[in-house]
Homo-oligomer: A and B are copies of this chain.
């Protein structure tokens, strides 16, 4: 059975919709009622008559129309009964937000949930999860209010997380940074649907170009790695694994009630199945942003263009440290650039446009690097703070990046002025990094992925 109805239901029932603003059931109902969701949403709560002027139903069975998806937000002990009603109503998809199952030692109740689902041939996301955020359809089961936790825009990075807290916090951060998303799923205890099935689904999803995942334990390692091996050369799959030390693994058990396993075993399995492993969340999205927006590089020769010498030095260090090389542009290119640019600029690698840089200097240098056959990738360091540089430089770079067959990244650090301009660049599909080391790290991973894809044909 397809998982489509989770992401594109035409009608949703919120079982446990609540009138009190602090309650998850309240926030989730509002997400559908006030948000971008175009379908029907039904509140279910036997104790309320209406919610926001909508009639409240005692049970899903009382809802007149068809319901594609149920969101369950009732106390754990009431979940089996609620799912039973959904089953009788003919609902085949449910997101169970409720917690209080095997993660607190209550395996018996979790088995009961599983049995009810099986009986009604119902597919579940959860238990003990945050559920789904889909910016395209407007499905949003996140129970943190939007003023505290912003939602990212429509994009092509899919992101699944076992941990609800990590998942939602990262969405909030992504929204601030201007990073975009295709689908988000926090899947918690994997009572039914697990990471393997979600990754399989997302690999066929047309809106998704790369897949990111945060795992703690893994329910069925063999299935997961099989799926990954089959798909990883088509769409990049990036993973951060929590619970890698012995002590961390113990902490996982009292979190999602799953086994974490040893660091070495997982790293080897990730590598063998073509999964890109990230050390932390920021790194995972560094990789994802680069791979989802830029073409794969033909080789590993990087041209650096900078308006700050110190950043150029850091860039060179980090390019070498990440197994990449400094590009050596053709003599002709260098000669022409020297002619076109002021005489005190340093035209080698890095090209140093100095603190006197202007937008048209970047344009000349970037276009030259784009054309030169000795360059595979471009790192443009743009310190927006230098006196003569105007914000138009963002358009210059976005334009150059648009139809380019070479990857280009921007490195820019600073305060609020800089952050605003970086967000503009991100929206135009140009990945921005705060430091050369992070950019070079992601470029190294991208180069390795390009090589992996060549090997897999």
Q: Which residues of A contact B (CB under 8 A)?
A: 22-24, 27, 99-100, 103-104, 143-145, 147-150, 161-170, 172-173, 175-176, 214, 216, 242-248, 250-252, 254-256, 279-282, 307-314, 316-317, 319-321, 326, 344, 346, 348, 350, 352, 354-355, 383-388, 413-419, 434-435, 437
Contacts and interface: CB of A to CB of B under 8 A. Distances in A.
A310 B103 CA distance: 12
A282 B437 CA distance: 11
Most chain B C-beta atoms within 10 Å of own C-beta, residue among A27, A161, A247, A317: A317
A309 B27 contact: no
A170 B162 CA distance: 35
A437 B282 CA distance: 11
25 contacts: A22-B387, A104-B344, A147-B417, A148-B384, A148-B387, A162-B310, A163-B308, A163-B311, A165-B308, A166-B308, A166-B314, A169-B308, A172-B414, A172-B417, A172-B418, A242-B313, A243-B316, A244-B317, A247-B319, A248-B316, A248-B320, A250-B316, A251-B350, A256-B309, A282-B435
Given A251-B312, A255-B312, 14 more contacts: A24-B387, A99-B354, A150-B417, A163-B309, A163-B311, A163-B313, A165-B307, A165-B311, A172-B414, A172-B418, A247-B317, A248-B316, A251-B316, A255-B309
Copies of this subunit: 2
Nearest to A177: B415
Contacts of A354: 99
A375 to B, nearest CB: 16
B416 A176 contact: yes
* Residue among A214, A243, A316, A418 with the highest chain B CB neighbour number at 10 A: A316
A162 B311 CA distance: 12
| Residue of A165, A245, A417, A435 with most partner-chain B CB within 10 A | A165
B148 A242 contact: no
A286 to B, nearest CB: 13
Contacts of A352: 254-255
Contacts of A247: 316-317, 319-320, 326
A163 B251 CA distance: 44
Q: Top 5 nearest A-B pairs by Cβ distance? A: A163-B310, A165-B308, A255-B309, A248-B317, A176-B415
A351 B319 CA distance: 41
